[in-house]
Structure 1
Amino acid sequence: MKDRTEIEYGRYKIIAGTLNGNIKAVALFGKSKIDEAQGQSIDSVIVKIKEILDRIERERASQRRAPHIGTVEEYKEAIEHISMSSAERLMITSHAISVDRKMTAAELAKAGEYDSYSTANSIYGTLAKKIGNWIGLAAKDSEIRSNDVTFTFYLAEGEYNDADNWVWIMHPEVHEALSLLNMV
């Protein structure tokens, strides 16, 4: 391909250039071709392919039950593509197999082999942020701190239990994605 241009567009890669006298752009997700466009200039084919990708993303977003919760397929794709530390993997799989998919921050800390629940909150929140950003989820405001977001809402909802401890309840979509990936 002559005059080749590569750009990252969200989680996609766009490759544009001239091939056999035609100006084309192709959108890739990982190694999979999503779509292609042709046009009169490299700029015009990049605009066209971005419009196609934006339409695909709007369709995906319309399948979600809430702006901060992905679909099973989106979680599956994200978990397959992001890198996870051993502690993150222990925490998310322990959460998935816990009774009713519920865990406190202290229980998540223990699952990740940490002494501090605040460290566990940070690690699990970072994992949630990686997954949510990969999918393109909308951040949800913290229910405890004003002017702050809590990325863990990408993976779970929270509530106080009878002992006044915050409990994270994993979204069923995350659990199902982990099951499909044979992680639980």
Structure 2
Amino acid sequence: MIYPQKHSLTSDDKEMALLKAKAWVDAEQKRRSQQRRLSHIGTQEEYVAALKAMNLSDKKRAMLVAHKNAPERRLSAEQLAHAAGWANHSTANLHYGNLAHDIAFYIGLVATKKDRSASTYALGEYDESTSEWIMHEEVANALETLNIT
């Protein structure tokens, strides 16, 4: 979970201080989740914080940039692989999925499915009719904010 600002809580009693801290974390989590369009999609602010905290490899950065710049932010797994310089989509699926998982975990997003691939929905929605991933607007805007182009 991300909390970029420092907050001080004072109390003479350790247990009371811990209760105050837990109450603050719960309130902050509720505030953040209320700002989300859906439970598995972060806000632009959350994606900015998560991406700032990550050490993106050149290949992951290339996939994100290609996805953001694609028409209607739509790319197939094969196109993501090509953007990163890989020969097949399996490698892209693994690395893009791991990136999405790390971002989802950092932000505290709820997965829409129970399997490991569900984390990818933190970055976009899958269109089965075209076999393309559609990057969430919040992710694209965060990339713009960070000048990841």
TM-score grouping bracket, smaller chain normalisation: over 0.9
Structure whose residues are more often strand by fraction:
1
Corresponding residue of 1:126: 98
Q: Equivalents in 2 of 1:50, 1:177: separation in Å? A: 29
Letter paired with 2:123: L
- Within 2, Cα distance between the matches of 1:47 and 1:118? 46
CA-atom RMSD in angstroms = 1.4
Q: 1:158 aligns with which of 110, 122, 126?
A: 126
Considering only CA atoms, is the larger Rg found in Structure 1 or Structure 2?
1
1:65 aligns with 2:32: no
Structure 1 stretches lacking a partner, 5+ long: 1-9, 13-28, 142-146
| Structure of greater relative contact order (alpha carbons < 8 Å, 6+ residues apart) | 2
Moved beyond 6 Å, runs of 4+: none
Deviation at 1:148, TM superposition (A): 1.8
What CA distance in whole angstroms lies between the structure 1 residues aligned with 2:108 and 2:51?
Answer: 13
Give the letter aligned to residue 146 of structure 2.
L
1:6-155 equivalence runs, <5 A: 10-11=1-2, 29=4, 32-33=5-6, 35-141=7-113, 148-149=115-116, 150-155=118-123
Query: Once the two structures are superposed, what CA deviation does each residue of 1:5-30 show, in whole Å capped at 9, x if it has no partner?
Result: xxxxx445xxxxxxxxxxxxxxxx3x
Unaligned runs of 5+ in 2: none
Query: How many residues matched?
Result: 148
Q: How far 1:45 sits from its partner (Å)?
A: 0.9
**Aligned AA for 2:115?**
D
Question: Is the aligned partner of 1:181 residue 2:146?
Answer: yes
d(CA) in 2 for partners of 1:136 and 1:36? 22
Deviation sequence 1:132-178 (CA, Å, 0-9, x none): 1111000121xxxxx524211000001134xxx51000000100110
